[in-house]
Amino acid sequence: FPAQPGDSRDMLYSYMVNPDDGVRYLMIVNNQTYSNQSAITHTVNFSADIAALTEVSNVDGSYMAPVDLTTTHKAEFSFDVGEGRLFRLDYESGSEPVDDFDSACTFVQRILDFFAMLRDWFYGLFGL
């Protein structure tokens, strides 16, 4: 996973890949939901192959100024109660992960086929 919480705050991390262009995104949501709770500052540790992080505006979808991660691979963000923020992950050149969805589906299907074969063998062995 490209990012890990840097503290023990109650946060939700979601990793998404745009199937059209392969751009990767990270959404971080503050799971605090009570109105009597205050905004928090949350630290995020990023994997070494991520060079920068660009926030996507929740108003118009435009990209904000990128945050350089090449030195510390760490960033701090403020979150209001229940707030979610979306970031584009900018990888070092040549280090973009390859996660072909079709290959993953094929792999899962092979596992399911293997278990179906085992089931059929087991049923045949015991006459079920």
User: What's the pLDDT at 3?
Assistant: 81
**If DSSP codes are grouped into helix, strand and coil, which group holds residue 3?**
strand
Per the prediction, the chain carries an average pLDDT of 82
At residue 43, the pLDDT reads 92
Q: Is the whole model's pTM more than 0.85, yes or no?
A: no
Q: How many C-beta neighbours within 10 Å does residue 111 have?
A: 10
* 20-59 confidence digits (pLDDT tens): 888 889 999 988 877 777 888 999 999 888 999 999 988 8
* The three-state (H, E, C) secondary structure of 45-107, written as one string: EECCCEEEEEEECCCCCCECCCEECCCCCEEEEEECCCCEEEEEEEECCCCCCCCCHHHHHHH
Q: Which residue has the higher pLDDT, 100 or 91?
A: 91
